[in-house]
Chains A and B, each alone.
Chain A
């Protein structure tokens, strides 16, 4: 009963529901991104310590914060795939991995541009967050390459589900060990990306807006990609064929 429900019911249900939500999500995302970017570029006062670099920080912190959501997301989807064999969960997990890699990459890129101004170097091993992000990117690439290596879809779904769960545990362990590693390598620690430096409320509001914007963007891009995947995997079902005929 459950199997039948999850197998046949869910993708269609998700497709229709997401179709109804998508315009609203896109509208909200556009508003938040526009407000965030305009605020950041025009209204954010220069920080007395960091000058204009806080404009980079609002993008960087928002993207970084959102990219931390990917492994938990994929691990939860993985548990659902393995326990309830829900195909939809696997589709979401499959599409999330490349988006997550994009997010991690952008975090690294913006982080190192920020670092080039604040630290005077493009890469700093003593920043635990960037190092963790680098390894998160590697782990995500591992999941993606495992997915593309396995031809059998069912097998790929389960294998990637398991690897995502293991990966989540790993990211957490890596995060703490890298932090520890940094504390102990008493290199003159540069200004960290955290809230150590005094920033005005303007800065925090900008960051909050950008974080909401990024989560909205994450959902929109993930939904768009998942809908494509549904169309492909369910192409033999009647409802997709009807939909294709109407288009």
Chain B
């Protein structure tokens, strides 16, 4: 047996992408805590607001969209920490970096899997919480749409900060300090779109803007995450 390049059947990029996605989903499925805890955190934080502010349904309906958006933000940041850390600790990240396929797509696969297990469930439960916060019916659809577009942006942007801090022994709150200011634009347009449908104007403009932001994030953020990972593993 001789080892020549021609005898080795290389995987296609798509196959490597799918393998990484499958693996991450499998790990999330096996480590249920990492998935369930951020979700529970989200539900609990949202239910604390009425207690802290006021049970008055009119006031709640005013702040509902903002409360849900900020809680989503915090929950997504919390779940983010696991994105690369265990891979870094067990050495899988090195294997990922040594893949012959562009790291961009491998990072994208990991971000996608992270969003599927942490972003999507939050989006799906949000109508229930919106009901509990007395958000007017007219805004439900917009809220879900804006969350559907906004949560992947947060995953993609947060991934950069996680990648930068993955090698740190004591990350503490540094992740929050870096990520939270970055999510201001998403928060603004997310809440503005809900506000628009509450005012009976069309939220389409904001959602389109958010879609544009998502497009930019998908094309640039994995590049930054990949660079950050190479720096951190260096």
Binding site for B on A (CB under 8 A): 82, 135, 138-139, 141-142, 145-146, 149-150, 154-155, 158-159, 162-163, 165-166, 169-170, 173-174, 177-178, 180-181, 184
Contact = CB atoms under 8 A, between A and B. Distances in A.
Interface stretch (B36-44, B129-137, B163-171): B163-171
A82 B161 CA distance: 17
Contacts of B165: 146, 149
B188 A178 contact: yes
Main secondary structure of the interface of B (DSSP, over half): helix
Given A142-B181, A149-B168, A158 B188 contact: no
A150 B182 CA distance: 20
Contacts of A178: 184, 188
Contacts, number: 73
B184 A162 contact: no
Contacts of A180: 188, 192
A178 B188 CA distance: 7
Interface stretch (B49-57, B79-87, B223-231): B223-231
Interface of B: 160-161, 164-165, 167-168, 170-171, 174, 177-178, 180-182, 184-185, 188-189, 192, 195, 213, 220, 224, 227-228, 231-232, 234
B65 to A, nearest CB: 14
10 contacts: A142-B181, A145-B174, A146-B165, A149-B165, A150-B168, A155-B231, A155-B232, A162-B224, A163-B164, A174-B181
Nearest to A139: B181
Given A155-B231, A177-B188, A142 B178 contact: yes
Given A145-B174, A149-B174, A177-B189, A155 B181 contact: no
Given A155-B167, A159-B231, A159-B232, A170 B224 contact: no
B195 to A, nearest CB: 8
A82 B189 CA distance: 33
B97 to A, nearest CB: 15
Given A162-B228, A170-B185, 10 more contacts: A142-B177, A145-B174, A155-B167, A155-B234, A159-B231, A162-B231, A166-B182, A174-B181, A178-B188, A184-B195
A174 B174 contact: no
B182 to A, nearest CB: 5
B67 to A, nearest CB: 17
- Please name the 8 residue pairs, one residue from A and one from B, whose CB atoms are nearest each other, closest first: A138-B181, A177-B185, A142-B178, A158-B231, A177-B188, A181-B188, A142-B177, A173-B185
A184 B198 CA distance: 14
Contacts of B184: 135, 174, 177-178
Given A145-B174, A145-B177, A146-B174, A162 B185 contact: no
